[in-house]
Amino acid sequence: MTTPSVTSPKRVLFVCVGNSNRSQMAETFARVHGGGRVEAHSAGSRTSDRVNPRAVEFMREVGHDLTSHRSKTLSNISDVAVSMGCGDECSLVRARKRGSIPDPREMPPEKFRAVRDLNREEREVTAEESVTGAMGSKGSRNRGKPVHRP
């Protein structure tokens, strides 16, 4: 009798400078869109003390609670790292995919929401590409190219 193989979820690490906005949102969206197929994490190259209260507020608007999230450092290695556009601050991260999602920290509410929504769209793709192995390949929708800015 053959035992069905159990595939471990792909570990995905989202990296930005402070781990207080973009990567926290990306981690949440990847968990939602990846289901049990993706184990999402986030970290920062220079972490802040906390998750930005505005990120908590704007994620709450779309049904996600970030109140228990904490800013974390780059101490764990994952299967996949996705840079949030932190440039030289994350230059040592071997990312299979590099993004260019703007930091919404100082943006007015409507632009912050636009960044949140862009992040959600990109994480749907990231979750699928992580599982199918297309991350950073020719078949990848983004292929590491910068995404549009709100």
Provide the annotated active-site residues.
16, 86, 90
CA distances to 14, 41, 54, 101 from 98, in Å: 10, 16, 24, 9
Distance, in Å, from the CA atom of 33 to the CA atom of 30, rounded to the nearest integer, reads: 5
CA distances to 89, 106, 129 from 102, in Å: 14, 10, 22
99 contacts: CB under 8 Å, gap ≥ 6: 82, 83, 84, 85, 122, 142, 146, 147
* Sequential DSSP letters for 84-100: -S-GGGGTTS--SEE--
